[in-house]
Amino acid sequence: MKKRLAILAVVLCLVLCSASTTDASPGIGIVITPDSQHSSPGKMVQYTITVHNYDPNAPKSVALEVDAGKCNSTWFEWTETRVLVQARSVKYLSLKVTPGSGASEGTYNWKVVTPEGSASATATLVVQGYDYACVTHVEGKGVFVIDKKVRSNTGGDAEPRFAVNVDKHFVCKGEIEGFVSDEYLIDSALGDNPNFEQMSAVADYTTTAPGDFLYGDEKLRSPFVFGGTGVRIHETYDVHTMDARLENINLHSTGDQRYKSELATINDFGGYFLIDARQSIPGFMHVKDRGEFFGNFTVCKHLIFRMPADLP
């Protein structure tokens, strides 16, 4: 009898262990990529959240929350969401993070967690402050004149170096729904931050009296001999109508996109428009792209200049 009871006890133990193993539910895993990014006040960056379901048998509805840490929760595209992850599968979702325009420079750690705490992942956002920023927005009817000049050179001892020279002159006589001329400068930019970014925009300019016009002259130079990208961009417009103008220029001499300069612009106007873009690196390369337009046109341009990677 005792021997039979001992055998039954062993069998029961094996059954219980087997049942426990069968009923156990493998967990959830979370990964954030990239795990670290650089940004600046007002600049959006995007992370990918990967949710793993390790259970081979059943799908799971997974609730996710953002633990903002020292970040402001308003920086995050979402702070709570739920995703359905099939058995032994993964689910990808994006999370856009935009530091506020008044964000302080520093390193910020934040997390994505499940409410019950069964899984979490940590990421880092490094916010770089601007060395110079100018935001100009105008709308209305009448006359305005704007002149801008920016000069920046990191100096011969800096490594890597950066240089940019900007001159702008605008005159508006008439009625304009929107005018934008913004510049942002980070001498020692890291990650995907540009060293210099320029944004220009015009919305619905029209004349209101004979002799009215909208005139703009914008010159940007980043001299190679002073550590710049070797790019020069000159744009001039003298128009009687401009339905839309949108432009973005980025210069990268440091950071992950070092040696890259990019121009993207679209202009819908009646009048005169000039765009002259070139890159000159003595002894290595010279590229020139110039166009002049008289009449009623929509002009789009997208240019990317890169310096040879093996240059000092």
Can you tell me the mean pLDDT for 161-168?
A: 92
10-19, 45-54, 265-274: least confident range = 10-19
Can you tell me the mean pLDDT for 99-119?
A: 93
Regarding pTM above 0.95, the answer is no
Round to whole Å and give the CA distance between 269 and 217. 15
Residue 8 in this model has a pLDDT that exceeds 70: no
* 264 and 278 Cβ atoms separated by less than 8 Å: no
- 193-226 pLDDT, tens digit per residue, is 999 999 999 999 999 999 999 999 999 999 988 8
144 or 307, which is more confident? 144
Measured between its terminal Cα atoms, the distance across the chain in Å is: 89
- 182-191 pLDDT, tens digit per residue, is 999 998 899 9
* CATH 2.60.40.2030 boundaries in the chain: 28-127
- The encoded tokens of residue 71 equal 């970040």
Round to whole Å and give the CA distance between 78 and 97. 9
pLDDT of residue 157: 66
pLDDT of residue 128: 96
pLDDT of residue 312: 55
pLDDT band at 228 (very low <50, low <70, confident <90, very high): confident
CATH number of 28-127: 2.60.40.2030
pLDDT of residue 22: 29
Can you tell me the mean pLDDT for 37-50?
A: 96
User: Percent of the chain beyond pLDDT 70?
Assistant: 88
* 128 and 186 Cβ atoms separated by less than 8 Å: yes
User: What type of residue is 18?
Assistant: S
Mean pLDDT, the chain, as a whole number? 89
- 63-106 pLDDT, tens digit per residue, is 999 999 999 999 999 999 999 999 999 999 999 999 999 999 99
Residue 18 parent element (H or E): helix 2-23
User: What type of residue is 210?
Assistant: P
Alpha-carbon torsion angle 237, 238, 242, 247, nearest 10: 10
Residue 12 parent element (H or E): helix 2-23
- The encoded tokens of residue 11 equal 């069998």
* Beta strands at 89-97 and 45-53: parallel, antiparallel or unpaired: antiparallel
